[in-house]
Amino acid sequence: MLSAVGPPVTVRVPAKINLHLSVGDLRDDGYHDLVTVFQALSIADEVSVTRAVAGAIEPGVAVAGADGVDVSEVPADTTNLAWRAVEALARRVDREPDVRIGLHKAIPVAGGMAGGSADAAGALLAAASLWRVDIGREGLLEIAAEVGSDVAFALHGGTALGTGRGERLVPVLSRHTFHWVVAVADHGLSTPTVFGELDRLRARPEAPRRVGDVEPVLEALASGEARSLALLLGNDLQAAAVSLDPGLRRTLRGGVDAGALAGVVSGSGPTCVFLCDGQDAAVRVAAELAGAGVCRTVRVAHGPVPGARVVDGDGGP
Ligand code: ATP
């Protein structure tokens, strides 16, 4: 039985970047152990979840893109990660996933900023609120970790140390706000392909150098000094992303030439992020980078910001 129409619950959920991403060797089960420092940025998707109503609101997913965001590769069916998250919650509380999910995407698709995971986290929180599910934060985090490795962080937000596949999280003390310029490419990179490329590069005699220990990164975050953090940004997947997409070298150089303190590929790329010495500097770097023709679009962002949160509606009576 479908319920009567009610107001949607809308959740805002941030993109992530990896300030540090250390990738272990390929395990027998096909996964890699990760040690990563996530930071949630002020680029966010909006996810709304509405009760389906027979003949009026069909269960399913609808996807729209913010200005300049290409959503043509985002599935509007049951393979969408947001739908999978709602299904997982429905199974846990033994009910039908009788909802319509609306995604308004500002996070670049297949960009290494975990947009799909963000939508999954947003849908999970919105459905839990709509259905008044009382499984607590721990219950939601458990389901999030089942749905995908970055989903738990999208719920969590802020700055966090992730281990395992990235789903085991510990909050990290991060003083001050850091200012970033985000260079979005005109295409995506598939995460499994980038991991495969890293395995291939590591099998060669001239294997890429690995990032250092995470502790200095945590100290720089605690000090809040952008200049210290800039020296420590590192991502083991960067060599693989650049190998698959050599144009990223120009993008990375372009950001530093434009005045950023440092740049790094975000996650599996191809988005590159540049740490800047304050907000004014970020605006200047963004303007110069936009004119350099080394990426599709340029955004200014800051972090850390909170994880998924309800911004409208609470499921009604
Ligand atoms: P990550 O950083 O977690 O590796 P990503 O940011 O590189 O991910 P996503 O934007 O999450 O990549 O999308 C990767 C692929 O997942 C897309 O190409 C799309 O086919 C599929 N997908 C499924 N659900 C979604 C969703 N809600 N939003 C975006 N992509 C989705």
Is 111 one of the annotated binding-site residues?
A: yes
Q: Is the CB of 115 under 6 A from ligand 1?
A: yes
Q: How far is CA 126 from CA 14, 57, 103, 119, 132, in A?
A: 14, 17, 12, 10, 10
- Residue whose Cα lies nearest atom 16 of ligand 1: it is 116
Mean pLDDT of 108-133: 96
* pLDDT on residue 316: 52
Enumerate residues 6+ apart whose C-beta is below 8 A from 225.
none
Residue 166: band (very low, low, confident or very high) from pLDDT cuts 50, 70, 90:
confident
Is 112 one of the annotated binding-site residues?
A: yes
Percent of the chain with pLDDT over 90: 87
Q: Is the CB of 80 under 6 A from ligand 1?
A: yes
> Is the model's pLDDT at 118 over the cut of 70?
yes
Q: Is the CB of 74 under 6 A from ligand 1?
A: yes
* pLDDT on residue 19: 98
Enumerate residues 6+ apart whose C-beta is below 8 A from 237.
21, 23, 112, 194, 195, 198, 265, 267, 268, 269
Q: Is the CB of 184 under 6 A from ligand 1?
A: no
Query: 123 alpha carbon to ligand 1 midpoint, in Å?
Result: 14
9-172 and 178-303: same fold?
A: no
The total of other beta-carbon atoms located within 10 Å of residue 198's CB is 24
- Residue whose Cα lies nearest atom 21 of ligand 1: it is 74
Is 181 one of the annotated binding-site residues?
A: no
Query: 278 alpha carbon to ligand 1 midpoint, in Å?
Result: 30
> Domain boundaries in the chain?
9-172, 178-303
Give the tens place of pLDDT for each residue, 16-40.
999 999 999 999 988 899 999 999 9
> Is the model's pLDDT at 278 over the cut of 60?
yes
Enumerate residues 6+ apart whose C-beta is below 8 A from 113.
15, 16, 17, 41, 43, 107, 182, 266, 267, 271
**Ligand 1 atom with minimal separation from the 71 CA:** 29
> Is the model's pLDDT at 75 over the cut of 70?
yes
- Residue whose Cα lies nearest atom 31 of ligand 1: it is 116
Give the tens place of pLDDT for each residue, 244-254.
999 999 999 99
Q: What is the homologous superfamily of the domain 178-303 according to CATH?
A: GHMP kinase, C-terminal domain (3.30.70.890)
Is 109 one of the annotated binding-site residues?
A: yes
Give the tens place of pLDDT for each residue, 181-235.
999 998 889 999 999 999 999 999 999 999 999 999 999 999 999 999 999 999 9
Residue 315: band (very low, low, confident or very high) from pLDDT cuts 50, 70, 90:
low
* pLDDT on residue 54: 86
Query: Mean pLDDT for the chain?
Result: 94
Query: 46 alpha carbon to ligand 1 midpoint, in Å?
Result: 15
> Is the model's pLDDT at 50 over the cut of 70?
yes
Residue 1: band (very low, low, confident or very high) from pLDDT cuts 50, 70, 90:
very low
Task: Read off the pTM.
Answer: 0.94
Pick the CATH number of 9-172 from 3.30.230.10, 3.40.50.300, 3.40.50.970, 1.20.1640.10: 3.30.230.10
Of 152-156, 164-168, 301-305, minimum mean pLDDT range: 164-168
- Residue whose Cα lies nearest atom 23 of ligand 1: it is 80
Q: Is the CB of 152 under 6 A from ligand 1?
A: no
Q: How far is CA 123 from CA 53, 78, 116, 292, 312, in A?
A: 18, 13, 11, 37, 13
Residue 163: band (very low, low, confident or very high) from pLDDT cuts 50, 70, 90:
very high
Query: 282 alpha carbon to ligand 1 midpoint, in Å?
Result: 27
**Ligand 1 atom with minimal separation from the 267 CA:** 2
Catalytic residue positions?
A: 16, 150
Q: Is the CB of 183 under 6 A from ligand 1?
A: no
Nearest to 43 by CA among 13, 71, 64, 9: 13
Which stretches does DSSP call E strand in 89-243? 99-105, 159-164, 168-171, 178-184, 234-235
CA distance 59 to 135: 23
Residue 49: band (very low, low, confident or very high) from pLDDT cuts 50, 70, 90:
very high
Alpha-helical (H) ranges within 50-106 are 81-92
Is 4 one of the annotated binding-site residues?
A: no
**Ligand 1 atom with minimal separation from the 105 CA:** 28
Query: 221 alpha carbon to ligand 1 midpoint, in Å?
Result: 28
* pLDDT on residue 2: 47
